[in-house]
Every structure is written in structure tokens, then in C-alpha cells.
Structure 1
Amino acid sequence: MPAAAARRSPLALVVLTLLAERPMHPYGMLQTMKQRQKTSIVNINQRNSLYQVIDRLVRDGLAAVDTTERAENRPERTLYRITDEGRAAAEQWVEQLLASAKPEYPSFPVALSLAMIVSPSRVVEALKARLTALADQRAETRASLADADAMTLPRLFVLDDEYRDAMLDAEMAWMSALVTRLQSGELTWSEEWIAGVAARFAQPEAPETATPPHQPR
């Protein structure tokens, strides 16, 4: 199957790159993803989703069964390998993702655009809670980077952590400034003020036009 026709997903791409290293079984993939902290960039909370992705990759011809092994007192395990088509697809997907600036639709900007429905004081409390959560995430990311330094792991393999650290820094700085503006009263609102703004920018309703009845020829 052509790479363009296969269904791309972050988890599918991670699985293909793992299989490009060596044949692996699903449990090994899961453990490797956790060890390399890929759980911060792909959602593998449901183990079932990993098996579904592997099945789809096999069905699309991007992965294939390599061998089946059975250890003593353990259930049978299937090792999967990447195919030539899978390697080509993974390379193409990575290049496309690196080059693309396709809009994404995270939920936080949606909440910001609708913040006026909540009082300023409650927005401040919500943002403080988010800042605490982001600080925890940044601490985990920096611990991961420190571990990489301790292992003298080449920086090429932690570019995702470096990017995440930079994005967390930028978001936290912007949010801290926003909280300051809200607490000082520089940025504030009320139901009356919102209603006034809405009335000022309301578009006049277009007059209804009657649709003439169909005239048979």
C-alpha cells in the first residue's frame, strides 16, 4: 500500500520507528516507549490501542509478523518487523510532520477564547492550577534531560524533550503575565461590560426575502 494511502497517527509512527531498530513484540514496544518517555507525546493509556495500531500496520503492509516465540510458562509472543513499505512510510511521515505547519486544535485556546463566561477571579484560580500542573510537567521533562546528560545520550535522541521544555517555558511565562494582569485589574470584565461589547459589535440582521413559489412551465 502506498505510504500516502496508509492511515498515519503518532502512535503508528512511533511503532514503525521502534520496529526499524529491530523486531519487537507489543509488550517490548510498550516498555521501550515508557523507558524513553514517549508517553508524553503519544497516548498509550489503553494497551488495546497499541494492538489495534499494530494490526492496522500489518493490514496496510507496513509491518509484518517476524517470528512467534514461546518461553517456558509464558504465553506465546509474536514479534513484528517493519517492511520496506513501512520504512518508506515512516520516513515520509516524519518529513511531512517536520515541514508542516498544519493548524492543530487543542482545547486550551478554546477555553481562553470563552473565558469571559467565568468571573476574572475564577479564571485566575484555574490558571494557577494549570501553572502548577505545567510546572510538574516541566520538572519531569528536565529530569529526563538530566538523565540523558548523565548517560551521555546524544542530543539527537532528546529533541522532543528539548522542544517540550521550551514550549512549557513559553506557556508558563505567558500565563504568569496573564495572571498578573488579571490580579491587578488591568484585565477584567463583568456581565454588563460583556453585554455592552456584544451589543456594540452585533451585526444587523439581514431582512428576510420571500422565496417565490416555483412556477411550472
Structure 2
Amino acid sequence: MKRRQVGNLLGLAVLSYLSRAPMHPYELSKTLRNHGDARSIKFNHGSLYMVVQQLAKAGFVAEQEVEREGARPERTVYQITDAGRAELRDWLRELVGEPQHEYPAFVSALSMIAALSPNEVVPLLGNRLDGLAAQRAEASREIEQAERQGVPPLFLIEEVYRLSLIDAEVAYVRDLLARIDEWGPMWAEAHGEEYKPE
């Protein structure tokens, strides 16, 4: 993986939206939220302004104009530069074409799960399945609503991917629960307990 001048994925989203039209950070924030990008990229107003400044310092975006509406504060409109367009395409090619090691919180928890008793883990995994079902329902609603509005499938691929990940995690958690029934007695004994399958 290439070391990038701005490595925050929010920067990639900013470059993508500015490649369509110049905007000021407040407008970018609204656009990110309206397009559901907050489901894929963590951000707030402060982090967005900071990333825009980093992109400007790197030469990927530049001030186009400063505008003011009535009594509102001045807003700086940014546009993408040629270097920014090249960075956007290069970064996307890398992310799409090269798998990278990620550090999901659930994987970290699984690596230390033996610190909990299986009598505690089983109901927690049940709660996780309930949460995943709610996430799946939400993603399905997003897709159905967008399809009703005529959004082309190309612009829904991240939601379809999210559904696939949820389905894979549900299958994994169900399999893990079945395996815990096998390991439960030994695992519970290490915690000084008797395994009580639900």
C-alpha cells in the first residue's frame, strides 16, 4: 500500500464529490449525509474541515472563491485540482484492486473472547445476531427505497456489499454458537463454572 499525503478515507470522499462540482465544507457535509456516506465513512464537521485543509495543503484541492449569503459567515468554496483528480483515481484503483488487512473491532474481541465465560458469551452473541438482523433490515430498506426512486444499481453497490458482510457474519456467529456447545463445558470449567447451554 502506498503511503498517501492524506490517508483518511474521508479525504477520498471529499475528492470524489469535488470531482463532480466545487463545494464549501458545509455543503460537502450535507452531501455526504444525504447520500448515506456516514454509513461507510466516519466523520463530523470538525474532521471534515481538517481533511479539506489537509487536501488543500497537499495541492489536491484549491480555494475557488469565498461566498457570503446575507448575515451568514463567509464560506470558502473548494475545487479539485488536476493533482487531486489523479490522486482520486490512483487511490480508488488501489482500494478496489488490492486487498488490505483491516482491524475490525469484532475480530479483536474474538481474539480475546476466552476471557469471558461461555455462559456470558452465548447471550452476548444472541444480542449480536439481533443487532445484525436490525442492520440487515435497515440496509434492505435503504436499497428498496433507492430502487423505488430509480437509483441505478451501480450507486447501491456499497449497500449490497454491506448486506453480504452482514449475512457472512450472521452465518459465522451461528456456527460459533454451535461450536461453543462443543467447547462449553471445558471453557466454563476454566472459569470455575458449569456450562449452562440455553
TM-score normalized by structure 2?
0.89
Q: Which residue of 1 aligns with 2:23?
A: 24
Partner of 2:91: 93
1:130 alignment counterpart: 128
Shift, 1:113, TM fit = 2.0
Q: Distance in 2 between matches of 1:174 and 1:126?
A: 14
How far does residue 85 in structure 1 lie from its aligned partner after superposition? 0.3
Q: Alignment partner for residue 190 of structure 1, among 187, 190, 197? A: 187
Equivalent residue pairs, number: 189
Instruction: Spell out, residue by residue over 1:20-60, the C-alpha distance to the aligned partner (whole angstroms, 9 max, x if none).
Output: 0100111111111111111111111x311100000000000
Alignment of 1:36-55 (within 5 A): 36-44=35-43, 46-55=44-53
Of residues 106, 115, 118, the one that matches 1:117 is 115
SS in 2 for 1:122: helix
| Equivalent AA in structure 1 for residue 130 of structure 2 | T
Identity of aligned residues (%): 36
* Cα distance in structure 2, aligned partners of 1:166 and 1:80: 36
Code of the aligned partner of 2:31: T
Change in Cα spacing, 1:174 to 1:190, as seen in structure 2 (3 Å) is closer
TM superposition shift of 1:97: 0.3
Aligned counterpart, 1:70? 68
Secondary structure at 2:183 match in 1 = coil
Inter-partner Cα distance in structure 2 for 1:7 and 1:26: 17
Give, in whole Å, the separation in 2 of the partners of 1:150 and 1:163: 19
Tell me the SS of whatever aligns to 1:101: coil
Give the TM-score taking structure 1 as reference length: 0.81
User: What secondary structure sits across from 2:123 in the alignment?
Assistant: helix
Q: Which runs of 5+ in 2 are unaligned?
A: 192-198
Whole-Å Cα distance in 1 between the matches of residues 149 and 120 of structure 2? 44
Aligned-residue Cα RMSD (Å) equals 1.8
Q: Mean alpha-carbon deviation: is it higher for 167-176 or for 55-64?
A: 167-176
Distance (Å, rounded) in 1 between the aligned partners of 2:17 and 2:113? 42
Structure index of larger Rg = 1
